[in-house]
């Protein structure tokens, strides 16, 4: 679903006071008011009469009628001309759910979904086997505020809160995507043909969603002011984006669940997905949620280094890794730190899946297995490549990684061996190069070599680790 640009419920929620520290809202803080009354997201006033499908339809139609007024304002804020009118439509939540299901079935047909699920479970990026297509659908439907579809060149409003400013702010987010598409061709920028590795694709999503989130927040602030946004408001907004970008996944999930109450009557299946967010594996959910506020830090950092032309340049020369977008102040600016390209030798058997994991997925992995200092263990990432193959009934994972320094590599290797103790309780992890036993009778072999760490997960002999080291190239 890389091409679907969703205005998540989390976007509205991200301006709510956090459960971790009670920050002010982006609206009230940036406008300088500080009052709850100025915050359009603080406990929306319930409708005087019970909500009905007819009332939601009427609210949606009024919101879409305002798009023609909102678009010029968004275009001015984003410094991009509106090249054409954007078709709009109110889509019932059930229709959205069915659309997501069809798109995921197209991108992840059953065999591919099964192979991907098996591969990620084998490597420990999923705590238990599950169907990736199903959880992708669940993850997307939890973010069912609205979306822009680059294929249809249209904006669809799905959920209809009883708050005009919230509706218009969601519209601003999606209209920013429309401007991106008109100027930078989102179909090419976010391809769904598998030509981009997963880490690079996630980094690009940070750009597109972060850019739209940044503009959305600027629009929310600008809507409360009579003049242009003052420098003080921009400084306050930066602090709030920084604070929200640091929230952990539990805080973000809590916000989505709380904010969903503002959207009135809700499709039963979408509500079920939101209520069951804890069942969505972090490897799927975190990249989706992080792309908004952490992505906004990317857009804001680019803006501070060169205004909107610098943000535009992110589409012409996209970030290449999640490392760059997770650390825009050091890895993206003032100079980019390019990832090392890692090429594995030809595998034995049939490859089920192969891609780049990247810093974000390694952090998620270490968090999943409760490894201390997960963020530090993933930092210092320089490049990697992972592959899972099936040879008869046996699955084998091969991973080669590169790190910024020998100390970074050592920290990663130590953390990875600690994760094996959590994945395989009771296994002897004292000699990882000789192998750590898996329940299926195979072993995990780990070797550090300077700034590189090699892993064979599911091997039978240390010779397989030797072969991985010998046949891997780093560029």
In sequence order, what DSSP letters do the residues of 30-99 get, joined into one string? HHT---GGG-TTSSPPPPSS---HHHHHHHHHHHHHTHHHHHHHHHHHHT----SPPPEEE--HHHHHHH
Residue 370 CB neighbour total at 10 angstroms: 10
pLDDT higher than 90, residue 433: yes
Whether residue 299 is found in the same domain as residue 346 = no
Instruction: Tell me if 235 is assigned to some domain.
Output: yes
Q: Identify the DSSP state of 385.
A: E
pLDDT higher than 90, residue 244: no
What are the distances in angstroms from CA 22 to CA 16, 208, 218, 247, 301?
9, 28, 21, 12, 24
Residue 470 exposed, middle or buried by CB count within 10 Å (0-12, 13-18, 19+): exposed
CB burial of 371-398 (b: ≥16 within 10 Å; e: otherwise) equals beebeebbbbbbbbbbbbbbeeeebbbb
Considering only 44-48, 285-289, 296-300, 360-364, which range has the smallest mean pLDDT? 44-48
Whether residue 448 is found in the same domain as residue 416 = yes
Number of H helices, E strands in the chain: 19, 12
Q: Identify the DSSP state of 301.
A: H
Whether residue 348 is found in the same domain as residue 303 = no
Question: Average pLDDT of 31-59?
Answer: 59
Assign 44 a pLDDT band (cuts: 50, 70, 90). low
Considering only 91-95, 146-150, 422-426, which range has the smallest mean pLDDT? 91-95
Give the torsion sign (CA, 145, 150, 155, 158): negative
Instruction: Tell me if 414 is assigned to some domain.
Output: yes
Among 332, 359, 376, the domain boundary falls at 332
SS3 146: strand
Whether residue 106 is found in the same domain as residue 234 = yes
Instruction: Tell me if 282 is assigned to some domain.
Output: yes
- In sequence order, what are the beta bridge partners of 5? 148
Whether residue 208 is found in the same domain as residue 323 = yes
pLDDT of the residue at 273: 63
Whether residue 229 is found in the same domain as residue 325 = yes
| Percentage above 90 pLDDT, the chain | 66
Among 332, 355, 377, the domain boundary falls at 332
Assign 295 a pLDDT band (cuts: 50, 70, 90). very high
Instruction: Tell me if 337 is assigned to some domain.
Output: no
Domain count, the chain: 2
- Tell me how far the alpha carbon of residue 77 is from its chain's centroid: 24
Question: Residue 429 — φ and ψ, nearest 5°?
Answer: -105, 15
pTM of the model: 0.88
Instruction: Tell me if 418 is assigned to some domain.
Output: yes
Instruction: Tell me if 100 is assigned to some domain.
Output: yes
Nearest to 396 by CA among 445, 359, 361, 430: 445
Among 308, 332, 356, the domain boundary falls at 332
Task: Please tell me the distance from the alpha carbon of residue 293 to that of residue 14, in angstroms, as a whole number.
Answer: 8
Across 93-102, 211-220, 401-410, the highest mean pLDDT is recorded for 401-410
Whether residue 57 is found in the same domain as residue 23 = yes
Instruction: Tell me if 109 is assigned to some domain.
Output: yes
- 392 contact partners, CB below 8 Å, separation of at least 6: 349
Whether residue 224 is found in the same domain as residue 371 = no
What are the distances in angstroms from CA 110 to CA 114, 131, 132?
6, 9, 10
Query: Do the beta carbons of residue 319 and residue 312 sit within 8 Å?
Result: no
pLDDT of the residue at 236: 85
Print the domain residue range for 462: 342-474
Give the torsion sign (CA, 175, 282, 104, 138): negative
Residue with tokens 């994945």: 423
pLDDT of the residue at 261: 62
Whether residue 319 is found in the same domain as residue 360 = no
Whether residue 323 is found in the same domain as residue 365 = no
pLDDT, the chain, mean: 87
Residue 229 CB neighbour total at 10 angstroms: 17
Instruction: Tell me if 394 is assigned to some domain.
Output: yes
Whether residue 297 is found in the same domain as residue 360 = no
Whether residue 282 is found in the same domain as residue 408 = no
Give the torsion sign (CA, 374, 377, 382, 387): negative
pLDDT of the residue at 252: 78
């Amino acid at each position: 679903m890389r091409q679907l640009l969703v205005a998540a419920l989390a976007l509205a929620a991200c301006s709510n006071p956090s459960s971790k520290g009670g920050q002010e809202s982006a609206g009230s803080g940036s406008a300088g008011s500080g009052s709850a009354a100025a915050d359009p997201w603080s406990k929306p006033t319930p409708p005087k009469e019970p909500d009905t499908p007819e009332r939601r339809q009427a609210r949606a139609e009024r919101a879409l009628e305002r798009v023609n007024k909102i678009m010029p304002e968004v275009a001015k804020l984003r410094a991009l001309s509106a090249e054409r009118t954007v078709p709009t439509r109110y889509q019932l939540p059930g229709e959205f759910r069915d659309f997501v299901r069809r798109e995921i079935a197209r991108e992840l047909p059953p065999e591919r979904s099964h192979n991907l699920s098996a591969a990620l479970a084998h490597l420990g990026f999923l705590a238990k086997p599950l169907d990736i297509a199903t959880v992708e659908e669940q993850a997307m439907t939890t973010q069912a505020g609205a979306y822009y579809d680059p294929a249809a060149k249209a904006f669809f409003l799905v959920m209809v809160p009883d708050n005009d400013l919230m509706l218009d702010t969601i519209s601003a987010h999606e209209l920013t995507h429309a401007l991106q598409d008109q100027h930078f061709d989102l179909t090419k920028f976010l391809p769904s043909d598998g030509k981009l590795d997963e880490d690079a694709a996630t980094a690009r999503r940070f750009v597109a969603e972060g850019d739209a989130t940044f503009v959305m927040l600027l629009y929310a602030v600008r809507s409360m002011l009579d003049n242009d946004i003052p420098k003080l408001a921009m400084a306050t907004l930066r602090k709030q984006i920084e604070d929200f970008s640091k929230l952990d996944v539990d805080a973000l999930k809590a916000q989505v669940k709380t904010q969903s109450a503002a959207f009135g009557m809700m499709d039963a299946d979408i509500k079920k997905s939101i209520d069951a967010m804890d069942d969505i594996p972090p490897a799927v959910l975190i990249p989706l949620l992080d792309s908004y506020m952490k992505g906004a830090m990317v857009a804001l950092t680019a803006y501070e280094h060169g205004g909107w032309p610098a943000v535009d340049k992110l589409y012409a020369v996209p970030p290449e890794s999640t490392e760059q977008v997770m650390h825009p102040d050091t890895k993206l600016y003032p100079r980019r730190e390019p990832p090392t390209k890692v090429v594995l030798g030809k595998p034995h058997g049939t490859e089920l899946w192969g891609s780049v994991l990247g810093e974000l997925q390694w952090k998620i992995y270490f968090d999943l297995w409760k490894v201390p200092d997960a963020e530090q263990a993933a930092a210092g990432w320089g490049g990697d490549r992972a592959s899972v193959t099936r040879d008869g009934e046996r699955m084998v994972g091969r991973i080669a990684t590169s790190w910024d320094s020998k100390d970074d590599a050592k920290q990663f290797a130590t953390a990875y061996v600690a994760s094996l103790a959590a994945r395989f309780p009771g296994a002897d992890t004292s000699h990882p190069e000789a192998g750590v036993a898996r329940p299926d009778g195979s072993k995990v072999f780990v070797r550090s070599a300077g700034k590189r760490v090699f892993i064979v997960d599911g091997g039978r002999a240390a010779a397989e680790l030797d072969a991985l080291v010998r046949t891997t190239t780093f560029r």
